[in-house]
């Protein structure tokens, strides 16, 4: 993955870590011995362990953000099972002009960044936004980066 020059450097580093499963998700922290096994559950109250794939795609709350993004962009998309495959598939939509690929990558970066920030706000600040607000944040951040 080459760094995207349209997004902030800290977001590019975050995505680099995300694609290598190096984010401090609860599962990764437990594997490193930094959290107790009882603390593994997702902040979305879905009762599942907080792994990278779960947090960004399967969680009842955060996974729903992607469905809203697909509706906003007006296309159907079947999510692959891995973060890396999702990134490549989302950024290279078949049948769309090559010019749009860069824009879709920016949206992807914004989406995972906003989801991660929301996850951290729920854990550390006990603040939660609705999925519609998260989508608005993704739109705003995407357009500000472009």
Classified as helix, coil or strand, 54 is helix
The number of CA neighbours under 13 Å toward the Cβ of 84 is 7
For 91-115, give the DSSP string. Answer: HT-TTS-THHHHHHHHHHHHHHHHH
Q: How far is CA 68 from CA 8, 31, 107, 137, in A?
A: 23, 32, 12, 12
Contact indicator for 61, 131 with CB cutoff of 8 Å: yes
Supply the pLDDT for residue 137: 98
Boundaries of every domain in the chain:
9-145
Supply the pLDDT for residue 1: 56
**Length of the chain as a residue count:** 146
Express each pLDDT in 33-44 by its tens digit: 999 999 999 999
Contacts of 30 (CB under 8 A, 6+ apart): 36, 37, 39, 40
Check whether 56 has a pLDDT greater than 80.
yes
Average pLDDT, the chain: 90
Any idea what DSSP says for residue 57?
I
Supply the pLDDT for residue 94: 61
Express each pLDDT in 100-138 by its tens digit: 778 889 999 999 999 999 999 999 999 999 999 999 999
Contact indicator for 119, 62 with CB cutoff of 8 Å: yes
The alpha carbon of residue 45 and the mean position of all alpha carbons in its chain are separated, in whole angstroms, by 18
């Amino acid at each position: 993955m080459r760094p995207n020059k349209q997004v902030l450097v800290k977001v590019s580093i975050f995505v680099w870590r995300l694609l290598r499963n190096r984010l401090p998700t609860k599962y990764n922290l437990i594997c490193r011995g930094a959290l107790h096994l009882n603390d593994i559950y997702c902040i979305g109250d879905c009762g599942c362990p907080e792994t990278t794939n779960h947090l960004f795609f399967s969680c009842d709350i955060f996974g729903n953000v992607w469905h809203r993004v697909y509706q906003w962009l007006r296309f159907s998309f079947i999510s692959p099972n891995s973060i890396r495959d999702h990134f490549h598939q989302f950024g290279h939509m078949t049948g769309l002009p090559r010019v749009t690929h860069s824009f879709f990558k920016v949206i992807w970066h914004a989406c995972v960044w906003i989801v991660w920030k929301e996850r951290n706000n729920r854990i550390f600040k006990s603040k939660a936004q609705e999925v519609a607000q998260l989508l608005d944040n993704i739109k705003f951040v995407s357009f500000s980066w472009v």
